[in-house]
Amino acid sequence: MSEQNSPIQADSLPRQDIKTNPSYTANPVLLMTQTDSRDKWSKKMDFLLSVIGFAVDLGNVWRFPYICYQNGGGAFLIPYTLMAIFGGVPLFYMELALGQFHRTGAISIWKRICPIFKGIGFAICIIALYVSFYYNTIIAWALYYFYSSFTGTLPWTSCDNPWNTPNCTNYFGKSNVTWTTFSKSPAEEFYTRKVLEIQKSSGLYDIGGIRWQLILCLFLIFTIVYFSLWKGVKTSGKVVWVTATLPYIVLLILLVRGATLPGAWRGIVFYLRPDWEKLMSTAVWVDAAAQIFFSLGPGFGVLLALASYNHFNNNCYRDAIVTSAVNCLTSFLSGFVIFTVLGYMAEMRDVEVEDVAKDKGPSLLFITYPEAIANMVGSTFFAIIFFLMMVTLGLDSTFGGLEAVITAVMDEYPHILAKQRELFVLSLITICFLGSLTTLTHGGAYVVKLLEEFGAGCSILAVVLLEAIAVSWFYGIQRFCNDVKAMLGFTPGIFWKVCWVAISPAFLAFIIVSSLLDQPPLMLFDYHYPEWSISVGYLIGASSFICIPFYMVYKLVWTPGSLKQVRKS
């Protein structure tokens, strides 16, 4: 795919300006675009673990396994792999290369690529804020479970608790109990009636009061995040050695335990059994493309930010291949962990596996899996390590998402924020905490679902699409490839160029159009979202994307000269 040459020793060459170097496009040499005062990763592994930690998140544990078995089991791996090769990985590589070459965040980088697209950077920051408003609440739920697990008998084991209802049915180990459509497991009632207390809310019209226990959990989460980010990559790079590696240890422990459970084989067969007819459905290919893009995370500005602290000659090509492969394999591994347990539950309930896993959302993590854990030998131990894994998985992604905003804003306004990082990070964390308060109410789960559906849905895909177009068509694919050659000593091959120019943007356009044309009714538990809330959701999605055309209009109106001059100025 590439032509190998000896890499240029970048850090020893004098600083130059890209626009004043007339031989740049024909004979690329190192062009220092950043002063040596910029922070750098202490070790290469700090960077790799940070990228892996961002890409491997809670969605790998619940979304991929469910989508896989919903869309043809083992057959789904075919569209998933193709979408990764031709769509996700090329854009992942592109963002790492952009961040490493220009050494700046998601806003100011557009001054050097195509200034008229600078609104993309502002849109990325707004999307990151929306994600922080709900994603950290899910981590707070996991922390609540983690705290509740330190007991001899897990609180979601029986129906004898104050929050249980007459519909609570504990069927494990009991042959005389019948499971009906009205039955609720102890784990489900613990999640809905104890953790969320959703029974005290009638929906988005009345979300109720704030759960103080969840506020304390969220405060602790943001405290950890603050002290991990306040000094920059020097501190966050050390924290990820724990948060990015611990989940793999826990996954392996849970996989071994799950494989020894009665009926585990039923879950594995269901997970991998190919349904070739599913491949004829457009929805399967849309799901595969959406899963790979949201899993790898191009467009969130995180890869730009993390790569901007690399040394100029770091091999970002190899990093992109390695971290993408780790992410995809982690998703596949987590499927085995989840479905061994689902097979066990199907065996215990005497039902089919498809009747156990009916929800791809957080309830798979907070109802289905905890229910199985509660009935294992050593349940307390497995509950503690499982929810500890969930907390660390979530923290990694939060580190990356907020670092993207921090880097973008500080690079855009260095004269104001250069020496005020600690204060700026504290202000950002405070904004995220206050923005999360509605998700901590009795009806907070409804708000989480709304933000999850619209806060970073089609808007982030549209951002990635415009980013790919701006780099490949406006900045120029040859110029971008020259940048890569200046860093790595070799030019990307024809495969990467074709993907960047045509295939990856086409995949993204396909997902966006298909998603907009097929909008299933939004519901959570038994609650159907009213029409006005769907309109609010669309406004949330549009509020970030609208920055892009607004900035284009501003640039065209206030910058003198022709369109070509405006585009380059």
Is 396 a known ligand-binding residue? Answer: yes
Contacts of 223 (CB under 8 A, 6+ apart): none
What are the backbone angles phi and psi of residue 168, rounded to the nearest 5°?
-65, 125
| Helices 119-148 + 531-545 axis angle, to 10 | 130
DSSP letter string, 319-373: HHHHHHHHHHHHHHHHHHHHHHHHHHHHHHHTS-GGGT----STHIIIIIHHHHH
DSSP letter string, 33-83: -S-TTS---SSHHHHHHHHHHHHS-HHHHHHHHHHHHHTTGGGGHHHHHHH
Nearest to 185 by CA among 448, 447, 194: 194
Is 299 a known ligand-binding residue? Answer: no
What are the backbone angles phi and psi of residue 430, rounded to the nearest 5°?
-65, -45
Is 290 a known ligand-binding residue? Answer: no
Please return the burial class of 336, using the count of CB atoms within 10 Å of its CB with bins 0-12, 13-18 and 19+: buried
Contacts of 343 (CB under 8 A, 6+ apart): 261, 263, 264, 265, 266, 267, 268, 269, 270, 353
Is 131 a known ligand-binding residue? Answer: no
- The residues facing 524 across adjacent strands are 527
Nearest to 389 by CA among 238, 293, 253: 253
Nearest to 516 by CA among 475, 465, 474: 465
384 vs 56, 63, 331, 364, 373, CA distance in Å?
20, 22, 21, 17, 10
CB 53 within 8 A of CB 260: no
The identity of residue 270, as a single letter, is F
Is 84 a known ligand-binding residue? Answer: no
The identity of residue 269, as a single letter, is V
Nearest to 244 by CA among 305, 133, 340, 327: 327
Neighbours of 352 (CB within 10 A): 10
Is 74 a known ligand-binding residue? Answer: no
Is 372 a known ligand-binding residue? Answer: no
Is 56 a known ligand-binding residue? Answer: yes
Sign of CA dihedral 361, 92, 410, 454: negative
249 vs 148, 369, 426, 430, CA distance in Å?
22, 18, 32, 33
Is 121 a known ligand-binding residue? Answer: no
378 vs 94, 115, 257, 282, 546, CA distance in Å?
46, 58, 10, 44, 52
Region for residue 489 given its phi and psi (left: phi exceeds 0; alpha: psi -120 to 50; beta: otherwise): left
Binding positions: 53, 55-56, 60, 295, 327, 393, 396-397
Binding positions for Na(+): 53, 55-56, 60, 295, 327, 393, 396-397
